[in-house]
Amino acid sequence: MSTLETLIAARALIAKPGDLLRDRLAVRRCVDGGLISTSFDDPGAVAFCTNGAVLRAADFNHGGQERWKNALLALVAALPSDAWRPLDPDDYPDTLANFNDNCSDADVIALFDRAIEAQRKTGTDISVFEKLLDCPREREAVE
C-alpha cells in the first residue's frame, strides 16, 4: 500500500461527523450505546483520531510501520503553516496529535486533502522527505 492509499483509507475512517476523535486513538461502541477507548486495530473501533486512523489504515501491527511513518510525514508536510511543523523531525506524531486535538474537524480533513493532493501530484513517497527537508524552520534548527 502506498502513502497515497494509506492517506485515502485513513481519511475515509474520519470523514463522517462523529468519526474524528480528540485525545484518544480509537473508540468502540458498548452494548449500552456509550463509547469506550480501544486499540486502533480493534475490529469494533468506530471512531479514530488522526494518528489512530493512519495506524489502522497502514495496518501498523502487521508490517505497516513504514506506511504509517510515511503517511504521518506526508501529513506534517501538508500542515497549514510552519508554526505547526516540529523543530525536531522525530516529533511528528506529537505535532499531529496537537493539531488533531486543537483544530476543527474541517481543518483535519483539509489537512488530509492537502496531503492526498500532494501525493497525487508527485506520485512518489520521497517527495514527503524532500518537502520536510526544505522546511525553513528545519533548516534554522540544524544551522
Three-state SS sequence of the chain:
CCHHHHHHHHHHHHCCCCCECCCCCEEEECCCCCEEEECCCCCCEEEECHHHHHHHHHCHHHCCHHHHHHHHHHHHHCCCCHHHCCCCHHHHHHHHHHHHHHCCHHHHHHHHHHHHHHHHHHCCCHHHHHHHHCCHHHHHHHC
Angle ∠(72,26,87) on CA atoms, nearest 5: 30
Residue 38 has phi, psi (to 5 degrees) of -150, 180
Q: Along the 143 residues of the chain, how does pLDDT read in single tens digits?
A: 899 999 999 999 999 999 999 999 999 999 998 999 999 999 999 999 999 999 999 999 999 999 999 999 999 989 988 767 766 767 777 889 999 999 999 999 999 999 999 999 987 654 444 454 444 433 333 33
Dihedral angle sign, alpha carbons of residues 68, 60, 102, 11: positive
